Chains A and B, each alone.
Chain A
């Protein structure tokens, strides 16, 4: 049993419990709101706790992805490499011409040597750790800020200031965590590319590699846009904070800052969805390649 998997699942359960507690808080507030009590303090800590809990589950997801990359992906490569030494066929298949070719999963290229990693793969391998670390720090800061927010008197300037800071920093944390997960997905794609090349070249065969598909290009674009929007929303929340003395202006900022921060996360999530689709396509291509090596030796 993978330790990454176990700890990742445990964090998901803890996150689920934390978010459930915050939902109960929301229900209590929802049933109790009246003219005398708007339950703004309750809604402040439930916001902080729920977003922090989302972060915990995202860290759990990141740990499981780390388990895939650090341990299992390379076990798979080693297993296929050693097994194909005895399983690969010698069916006298015609030699494959070097250059580009079309496959059922998109354009591919045939080379003598395993292809080098693309810049985005190298960036992903470098960036996922700092992103996750910064995300966890921002999220913890946001949780503490939400307690400060809940302690302020509703309707006051300091209450609004605490609200702006908490929301900005918590969603910055979410953005960074999701970016870390996106970079981990990119690292998996890098591992698949490297491992696929290693298996084929270890058999002394030309290396067939999928070219970067449109879904992968869109993944990079969406992730970058989301990351930038996530940083911008934090800066704009700091701008809203300086406007806390004017309730009407503060409310107008809040009207579009809320959806902006959600859009930032949405763009990164959309990128992650496309990264997973790309991983599925690459796996299908690689399984087909292994089948071909077993049946025909080429």
Chain B
């Protein structure tokens, strides 16, 4: 299936219509197709997934090298001690982004498919406006990516800056390690919170679509 970054054309612009069941929707003649985050999700989940596998492979190989390094070689141990978590968390950054994009992709299928089903039934197409939970998912994902990237960068800086030649150097390295771990973990939990919001959006979309298809059937009645 091909993907496009161009929005699906509609004959008339979508207009907000009031509903008495609490859903905020827009009405249009045709399906609205995917929105921008959903198109990004369709494009980007696979590159992120590949990045995850690459990060873990590099990190795990470096960990094996680290385990085999002489305990007196403090310089190499200190460098590898920062590089290993940096690469492992490049992997986590990739996989959490891939999961978030995959959730956005599912939401895209609901938006596009739900609209097309209404269109096929020759009914006005009603599409949910982006719910708060979906906006929260995007916000959390962007924050998570930045925080985790900051943690990874902290480790890369420390890997290049310290050589373990004196006590002050070793202490500074430990400080960077503690801060880097904290940032990486904050990134993980923020990603997880975003994914929870994305999945919660699916519940809302399922509820709306189940109501909407019954409405369409009731309003159009027996077609044949």
Q: Is B26 an interface residue (CB 8 A)?
A: no
| Interface 1/0 per residue, B175-210 and A, CB below 8 Å | 111110111011011101101110110111011011
Q: State in angstroms the CA–CA spacing of A279 and B223 once bound together.
A: 31
Q: Is B114 an interface residue (CB 8 A)?
A: yes
Q: Is A2 an interface residue (CB 8 A)?
A: yes
Most chain B CB neighbours (cut-off 10 Å) among A2, A72, A78, A273: A273
Q: State in angstroms the CA–CA spacing of A143 and B110 once bound together.
A: 39
Q: Is A114 an interface residue (CB 8 A)?
A: no
Q: Is B149 an interface residue (CB 8 A)?
A: no
Q: Enumerate B36-75 residues with CB–CB distance to A below 8 Å.
A: 45, 49, 52-53, 56, 59-60, 63-64, 66-67, 71
Q: When the two chains form their complex, are residues B197 and A9 in contact, meaning their CB atoms are under 8 A apart?
A: yes
Q: When the two chains form their complex, are residues A256 and B193 in contact, meaning their CB atoms are under 8 A apart?
A: no
Cβ-defined partner of A255 (8 Å) among B66, B102, B171, B195: B66
Q: What size tier do the contact residues of chain A reach?
A: 35 or more
Identify whether the interface residues of B are mostly helix, strand, loop, or mixed. helix
Q: When the two chains form their complex, are residues B203 and A80 in contact, meaning their CB atoms are under 8 A apart?
A: no
Q: Is B103 an interface residue (CB 8 A)?
A: yes
Q: Is A270 an interface residue (CB 8 A)?
A: yes
Q: When the two chains form their complex, are residues B223 and A284 in contact, meaning their CB atoms are under 8 A apart?
A: no
Closest to B174 in A: A33
Q: When the two chains form their complex, are residues B52 and A266 in contact, meaning their CB atoms are under 8 A apart?
A: yes
Identify whether the interface residues of A are mostly helix, strand, loop, or mixed. helix
Q: When the two chains form their complex, are residues B175 and A31 in contact, meaning their CB atoms are under 8 A apart?
A: yes
Among the stretches A13-21, A124-132, A204-212, the one at the interface with B is A13-21
Q: Which of A's residues lie within 8 Å of B, judged by CB?
A: 2, 4-5, 8-9, 11-13, 15-16, 19-20, 22-27, 29-31, 33-35, 38-39, 43, 46, 50, 53-54, 57-58, 60-61, 64-65, 67-68, 71-73, 75-76, 78-80, 82-87, 89-90, 104-105, 248, 251-253, 255-256, 258-260, 262-263, 266, 269-270, 272-274, 276-277, 279-280, 283-284, 286-288, 290-291, 294-295
Q: Which of B's residues lie within 8 Å of A, judged by CB?
A: 1, 45, 49, 52-53, 56, 59-60, 63-64, 66-67, 71, 80, 84-85, 88, 91-92, 95-96, 98-99, 102-103, 105-106, 108-110, 112-114, 116-117, 120-121, 133, 167, 171, 174-179, 181-183, 185-186, 188-190, 192-193, 195-197, 199-200, 202-204, 206-207, 209-211, 213-214, 216-217, 220-224
